[in-house]
Amino acid sequence: MTNPTTSPGPILRIFEVQATPDGVETLLENFATTSAAVVDGQPGNQGYFFGRCVPDGDRRVLFVSLWADLESVKARFGDDWEQAYLPPGYDDLVERCSIRHVDTGAGWHVAVEGAGSGAGPAPGTDRE
């Protein structure tokens, strides 16, 4: 059994936003640039993905980053790691937001085909 005070990872950091009525598309554009820059290349970051909830008309969008372990998340986001981080310019697009961390160490399987231009190897696989 895993000790609940440790976190072997990988860790999903799930940022969920209820966008303003006109904010969904702008948030998705910002996720591709600003939010990506917050995590991309950081020690322990193993990738990210984002998208809108379905069906159409649902104004919830997600930005999910994958981290090697909880220590990497804490190193990137500091003492406020359990709080949603809103980059400049996001306040006017967000009605409410939340952050969750999920330890996926108990099981992980990903088979992604045709996921868009940013699709790459599944976490834990060799990169070319």
Q: Does position 48 have pLDDT exceeding 90, yes or no? A: yes
Q: Does position 118 have pLDDT exceeding 70, yes or no? A: no
Average pLDDT, the chain: 84
- Residue-number span of the structural domain to which 26 is assigned: 11-103
In a domain, 90, yes or no: yes
Interval 82-104 mean pLDDT: 92
Interval 15-25 mean pLDDT: 95
pTM: 0.79
In a domain, 122, yes or no: no
pLDDT of residue 23: 94
In a domain, 60, yes or no: yes
In a domain, 73, yes or no: yes
Interval 36-49 mean pLDDT: 95
In a domain, 45, yes or no: yes
pLDDT of residue 116: 56
What are the pLDDT digits (tens) for 49-71? Answer: 999 999 888 999 999 999 999 99
For position 83, which CATH number holds? Answer: 3.30.70.100
In a domain, 22, yes or no: yes
pLDDT of residue 107: 84
Choose the weakest-confidence range: 69-73, 84-88, 104-108: 104-108
Percent of residues, the chain, with pLDDT higher than 70: 82
How would you write 6-64 as a 3-class SS string? CCCCCEEEEEEEEECCCCHHHHHHHHHHHHHHHHCCCCCEEEEEEEECCCCCCCEEEEE
Rounded to an integer, what distance in angstroms lies between the CA atom of residue 67 and that of residue 46? Answer: 5
Percent of residues, the chain, with pLDDT higher than 90: 65
